[in-house]
Amino acid sequence: MFDSIIQNLFNALQWGSFYSLIALGYTLVYGVLRLINFAHGDIFMVGAYIAYFIAIFILKEATGLSGVATLAMVIPLTMILTAMCGVALERIAYRPLRRKGANRLYVVITALMCGLILENGNLAFLGASRKSFPELLDKVVYNFGMISMTNLKIWVILSSIIVYIALNAIISKTKIGMAMRGISYDKFAIPLMGIPIDTIIVVTFILGSALAGLAGILFAMSYPILDPFMGALIGWKAFIAAVVGGIGDIKGAFVGGFLLGIVEILVVAVFPSTFRDLIAFSILLIILVIKPTGLFGVAKSTKI
Amino acid sequence: MKKPYSLFIIVSILFCFCTSLALAGEDTIKIGFNIPLTGEIPKVGEESKFAGQMLMDEVNAKGGLDVGGKKYKLEFIYEDNESKAESAVAVALKLIERDQILAMVGPNSSKQAVPAGQVANDNRTPMISPWSTNPDTTKDRPWVFRAAFLDPFQGPVAVDFATKTFKAQTAAVLYALANDYSKNLAEIFQADFKKKKGDGAVVAFESYGDKDQDFSAQLTKIIAAKPDFIFLPNNYNEVALIVKQAHDLGWKGPFMGADAWGNSELMTLCGDDCKGHYFSTHYAAAGAKGATKEFIDKYNKLYGYQPADVAALTWDAINVVLAGIQNAGKITGNVRKDREAIREGISSIKEVKGITGNMKFDEQGDPIKCAVVVKINDAGEFEFSESVCP
């Protein structure tokens, strides 16, 4: 019994890492722009596909390269390309609406549509057949009694923690981070201080999408089957995690992601798995009813 | 009043023309094919057509089919149902009314076979679907038959095979809650395994939701229950993820699957992890013996690729129809009477030796036949392991 609890906690940490990484992207954009970027789950999917194509390309062109070296190239390239995809989305879809002073609701709907365009564009160009991600890391299974874990799972958990610490440092220690916090305080006063608001928004999208790209790589390595709709459900759930943690607050997104992962996994461990989502989301609902702003959310407009 | 009169003349002329055509073709037996030559699954239609072509050429080369001491040439008419339900209905009507076929082979998918079966039954024309596994296709339709076994049959097959091969006393099941096929099969398996091994024999019965990718919690629970094997009646893409994750969690025992595993994409997605496991299906191409091997080799030589289960099932379906015609004893030339005689001929079949197994028909028009259990060998091929009979 004790063994299986530890094993489940470990599973939950790994699964929660993905929610956390994606929820961080939601919360960053929301904190700065007050925009729920519903296309974020699909940017995560695009990240996974970019990682797939880069990995295949490198493995084919440079045959002598080891898996680890390939991975070392795949990670930065994917993060850069996914960030570019996120920025392109902002430039093409969100910025024109913002310029015209559109109501926030229209921008959110636009985001939903962008997500659908990414999904269906992928379906149209790459077809419905699923892609199998190559194995880059030699899998090592560690066994401790009844508990078994793989090196990949440990890396996934570590990366999400490292990313959180780095992101926290960027937001609280750098000038850009200060400007981001500033925009979330007062969008109208900030340009008067000589801070280029568009640049800051682009940086926000770069950070959020790069994280989605990283999540895409790690996800593709852990669950090596890619399909165009893989980002939809996990994106929604990560959004719920961000809200439960208190959207706009990066600590909230980080904790919310792990919380959702732990709740989902432990519910299965205790109850029949048929009731998983029913019970898991009821628990989250109760949390929101008690604390409508989320665990770390503040009721005021000062976020991030 | 003039118009209906002239119409009547035209119709009666056409009628004479048709009957004279039918009379002229007295020495041929017409069988219609209602298959998807275009649309979503053109490969399925193509394989059905090729199997039909092969069989027709073979029989006609021998001078035709021997019915009651007289040789009849076969004539197959292939019509495209575009893989759509409404087209399948239109094609069925066209084959029955215009082409005056004696029997219809197809449609293949249940989605078209269920409505087309209604048309065939209403028009009193024997129909046999090679591929459809949905019980509704033949249910309460005395004129409709099929060549594939039903979904509910596979559960007991898995139970018997696992008992014998893995010496299994306990089992665990992981199924997709949102998928009717998977859920039904899982429940049938559970009921049958409990019946044969006692109430506590299914030690874990877990499910997952639509589009889930992480199964670690369910698998942890399953592995902690220490079953002798895990039954996975799931689609091949989910199978690939489940098998990999189970191995990550330290599972070293066997898996058993169902016919949804049998897709050529399974091995590209699953790779080495799936090797050495078993699933039940209609037929096995690799390691086939006897008539099955003969069929595969002939097909391969003529068309250049290995036939999938649908080609083999079509081959068997046609043979069932031919056996039914031979059972009927004679062709009178009166289409209605001949159809009736063929229907009785098919339902009174003692046994047809098919390449997907020997079959006879129950009162619903479903075959009583063996399923094939396939092992995924080290080369990643689906290799015949044994056939399990009801």
Give the tens place of pLDDT for each residue, B183-224.
Answer: 888 998 999 999 998 888 999 999 998 778 899 989 999 998
Query: Can you tell me the mean pLDDT for B264-268?
Result: 78
Inter-chain CB pairs, A–B, below 8 Å: 85
Evaluate if residue A72 carries a pLDDT over 80.
yes
Query: Can you tell me the mean pLDDT for B232-245?
Result: 89
B386: in domain:
no
Q: Is the dihedral of CA B54, B58, B63, B66 positive or negative?
A: negative
B211–A130 C-beta distance less than 8 A: no
Number of domains in chain B: 2
Residue length of chain B: 390
Interface predicted TM-score of the whole assembly (ipTM), two decimals: 0.84
**What percent of chain B stands above pLDDT 90?**
38
Q: How confident is the model at residue A301 (pLDDT cuts 50, 70, 90)?
A: low
CATH number at residue B53: 3.40.50.2300
**What percent of chain A stands above pLDDT 70?**
97
A137 touches chain B (CB under 8 A): no
Architecture in CATH of A13-123+150-290: Orthogonal Bundle (1.10)
**Structural domain containing residue B118:** 2-149+290-369
Q: Which residues of B touch A229 (CB under 8 A)?
A: 211
Q: Which residues of B touch A129 (CB under 8 A)?
A: 265
The answer to whether residues B348 and B320 touch, using CB atoms and an 8 Å cutoff, is no
Cα–Cα dist B144/A103, whole Å: 60
Give the tens place of pLDDT for each residue, B65-100.
Answer: 988 888 899 999 999 988 888 999 999 999 999 999
What's the pLDDT score for residue B282?
A: 85
Top residue of A225, A227, A271, A279 to mutate, by most chain B CBs within 10 Å, is: A225
**Cβ–Cβ contacts within 10 Å for residue A194, how many?**
6
A132 touches chain B (CB under 8 A): yes
A233 closest CB neighbour out of B211, B220, B247: B211
Same domain, residue pair B218 and B255: yes
B382: in domain:
no
Give the tens place of pLDDT for each residue, A263-291.
Answer: 999 998 888 888 888 998 999 899 999 98
**Among A29-43, A118-132, B263-277, the range of highest mean pLDDT:** A29-43
Average model confidence (pLDDT) across chain B: 86
Query: Can you tell me the mean pLDDT for B98-111?
Result: 89
A273 closest CB neighbour out of B207, B237, B240: B207
B217–A11 C-beta distance less than 8 A: yes
B206 touches chain A (CB under 8 A): yes
A272 touches chain B (CB under 8 A): yes
The answer to whether residues B174 and B230 touch, using CB atoms and an 8 Å cutoff, is yes
Q: How confident is the model at residue A168 (pLDDT cuts 50, 70, 90)?
A: very high
What's the pLDDT score for residue B22?
A: 47
Amino acid at A232: A
The answer to whether residues B232 and B242 touch, using CB atoms and an 8 Å cutoff, is yes
Q: Which residues of A touch B205 (CB under 8 A)?
A: 272
Pairing of strands B382-388, A141-144: unpaired
Cα–Cα dist A23/A40, whole Å: 9
B241 closest CB neighbour out of A7, A225, A273: A225
- Which residues in chain B (259-298) have CB-CB distances under 8 A to chain A? 265, 268-269, 271
Does residue B107 have a cis bond before it (omega within 30 degrees)?
A: yes
Q: Which residues of B touch A157 (CB under 8 A)?
A: none
Evaluate if residue B285 carries a pLDDT over 80.
no
A272–B206 C-beta distance less than 8 A: yes
Cα–Cα dist A48/B232, whole Å: 27
Evaluate if residue A134 carries a pLDDT over 80.
yes
B235: in domain:
yes
Same domain, residue pair B327 and B306: yes
By the 10 Å C-beta count (0-12 exposed, 13-18 middle, 19+ buried), A274 is classed as middle
By the 10 Å C-beta count (0-12 exposed, 13-18 middle, 19+ buried), A57 is classed as middle
Q: Which residues of B touch A9 (CB under 8 A)?
A: none
What's the pLDDT score for residue B308?
A: 80
Q: Which residues of A touch B249 (CB under 8 A)?
A: 7, 148
Same domain, residue pair B241 and B162: yes
DSSP letters, B190-212, are HHHHHHHH-GGGEEEEEEE-TT-
Q: Model pTM? A: 0.76
Cα–Cα dist B356/B362, whole Å: 17
B264-299 burial, b if ≥16 CB within 10 A, otherwise e? eebbbbbbebbbebbbbbbbbbbebeeebeebbeeb
Same domain, residue pair B70 and B208: no
What's the pLDDT score for residue A144?
A: 80
B231: in domain:
yes
DSSP letters, A183-250, are HHH-TTHHHHTT--HHHHHHHHHHHHHHHHHHHHHHHHHHS-EE-TTHHHHHHHHHHHHHHHH-TT-H
What's the pLDDT score for residue B4?
A: 56
Q: How confident is the model at residue B364 (pLDDT cuts 50, 70, 90)?
A: confident
Same domain, residue pair B19 and B116: yes
For residue B28, give both structure tokens.
């041929």
Same domain, residue pair B180 and B302: no
What's the pLDDT score for residue B284?
A: 80
